[in-house]
């Protein structure tokens, strides 16, 4: 009932709660939210980041961004874009040999929350490199890479914005993944949510030319 009543609100004020992974909230959302806040100053935005998948049915968030499709029938979802990954090392480091990696170290991801194709690819592509650090935060991985701790595979939107690291040009790139946006169907007429989705769409159009 709370969701349905909220979905009938036809105004551009109130709160909008967004949830995403840490790196998405830090590197993808800022320009989108900057434009949204300028256009709709009476909407208060709250961003929840982390690895826990919040429950949209219980209104823990109004809209969510994920790296996998939503698996519940009451969620309206949309595939936003294809996320490209890259392999990064510290700017001053020498290039590791693709298919080998002897003498190098790897920065990997905590896989307890699921399978990460990019991390599996990294380990397979540099089989003789030694994994030395694991983190569930892409920003931490990037900053450790900048300190020369090891080779990291990162979403390009993250790696390309971190100073002090550079992307390697390799024969085969890491596997890409899709980014999905979803919200509960009861909120599909919520005006401030529709305005936010429109802002996201405008940014995607500009980003893809």
pTM: 0.86
Q: What is the pLDDT of residue 205?
A: 67
Task: From the options 3.60.150.10, 3.40.630.30, 3.10.440.10, 3.40.190.10, give the CATH code of 2-82+177-207.
Answer: 3.40.190.10
**Strand ranges of the sheet holding 43-49, from the earlier edge strand across to the other edge:** 43-49, 14-20, 63-66, 177-184, 75-83
* Per-residue model confidence as pLDDT tens digits over 152-198: 999 999 999 999 999 999 999 999 999 999 999 999 889 999 999 99
pLDDT in tens, 52-110: 888 888 889 999 999 999 988 899 999 999 999 999 999 999 999 999 999 999 999 98
Q: Which runs of E-coded beta strand occur in the chain?
A: 14-20, 43-49, 63-66, 75-83, 85-90, 105-109, 130-135, 151-155, 165-167, 177-184
What residues does CATH 3.40.190.10 cover in the chain?
Answer: 2-82+177-207, 85-167
Model confidence band, residue 203 (pLDDT cutoffs 50, 70, 90): confident
């Amino acid at each position: 009932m709370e969701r349905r009543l909220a979905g009938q609100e036809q105004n551009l004020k109130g709160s909008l709660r967004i949830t995403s992974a840490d790196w998405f909230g830090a590197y993808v959302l800022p320009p989108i939210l900057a434009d949204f806040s300028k256009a709709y100053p009476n909407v208060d935005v709250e961003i929840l980041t982390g690895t826990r998948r919040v429950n949209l049915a219980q209104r823990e968030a109004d809209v969510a961004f994920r790296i996998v499709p939503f698996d519940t029938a009451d969620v309206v979802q949309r595939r936003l874009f294809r996320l490209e990954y890259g392999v990064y090392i510290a700017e001053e480091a020498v290039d590791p040999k693709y298919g080998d990696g002897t003498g190098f170290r790897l920065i990997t991801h905590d896989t307890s929350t699921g399978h990460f194709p990019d991390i599996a690819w990294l380990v397979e592509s540099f089989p003789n490199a030694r994994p030395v650090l694991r983190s569930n935060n892409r920003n931490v991985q990037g900053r450790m890479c900048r300190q020369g701790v090891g080779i990291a595979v990162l979403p390009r939107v993250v790696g390309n914005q971190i100073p002090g690291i550079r992307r390697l040009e390799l024969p085969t790139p890491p596997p890409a993944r899709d980014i999905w946006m979803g919200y509960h169907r009861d909120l599909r007429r919520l005006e401030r949510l529709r305005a936010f989705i429109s802002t996201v769409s405008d940014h995607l159009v500009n980003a893809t030319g």
